[in-house]
Amino acid sequence: MKKNTWNILTITLASLRSILLLGLLTWLAIVVASKNKVDANPLTANEKTLIIFCFIFAFLAFSLLTTNIVLLFIYDLNVFNIKVVILAVITLNIELLVYLVINWAEVFRTIRWSKPQKWSIFDITTMGLLLGIYLIIDYVSSFVPVMPFWITPSFKYVVLFFAAYILTFSCTFSLCIIIGFITIIMPGTAVMSPVQYIFDYFVPIMAFSLASFFRPIEKIDNKVVQILQWNLYVFVPMLIVYLSRVISGIAFWLNPAVYDGVSYEFNWNGAFTYSLIFNAFNSIVDYFVLVILTPMICIPLTVIKHKQEINRQQ
What does the domain layout of the chain look like in residue ranges?
3-110, 121-313
121-313 has CATH 1.20.1260.10 classification = no
- By mean pLDDT, which of 157-166, 168-177, 189-198 is the weakest? 189-198
Report the pLDDT averaged over residues 154-179: 91
Task: Give the residues across from 67 on adjacent strands.
Answer: none
Q: Is the dihedral of CA 308, 309, 312, 314 positive or negative?
A: negative
Q: Is the predicted pLDDT of residue 83 greater than 80, yes or no?
A: no
Report the pLDDT averaged over residues 89-95: 81
Q: Which amino acid is at 117?
A: Q
Contact 229, 77 (CB under 8 A): no
Report the pLDDT averaged over residues 279-297: 88
Task: Give the residues across from 147 on adjacent strands.
Answer: 151
pTM of the model: 0.70
The residues, any chain, with a CB within 8 Å of residue 174's CB and separated by 6 or more, are 127
Q: Which amino acid is at 237?
A: P
Contact 253, 263 (CB under 8 A): no
Residue 147: pLDDT band with limits 50, 70, 90: confident
Task: Give the residues across from 36 on adjacent strands.
Answer: 42
Q: What is the pLDDT of residue 191?
A: 60
Nearest to 137 by CA among 179, 178, 95, 192: 179
Contact 122, 130 (CB under 8 A): no
Q: What is the pLDDT of residue 39?
A: 57
Residue 175: pLDDT band with limits 50, 70, 90: very high
Contact 284, 50 (CB under 8 A): no
The residues, any chain, with a CB within 8 Å of residue 299's CB and separated by 6 or more, are none
Q: What is the pLDDT of residue 116?
A: 61
| CB atoms near residue 190 (< 10 Å) | 10
Report the pLDDT averaged over residues 178-190: 78
Contact 174, 212 (CB under 8 A): no
Q: Is the predicted pLDDT of residue 267 greater than 80, yes or no?
A: no
Report the pLDDT averaged over residues 199-213: 88
Q: What is the pLDDT of residue 106?
A: 60
Q: Is the predicted pLDDT of residue 260 greater than 60, yes or no?
A: no
Contact 201, 179 (CB under 8 A): no
Q: What is the pLDDT of residue 288?
A: 86
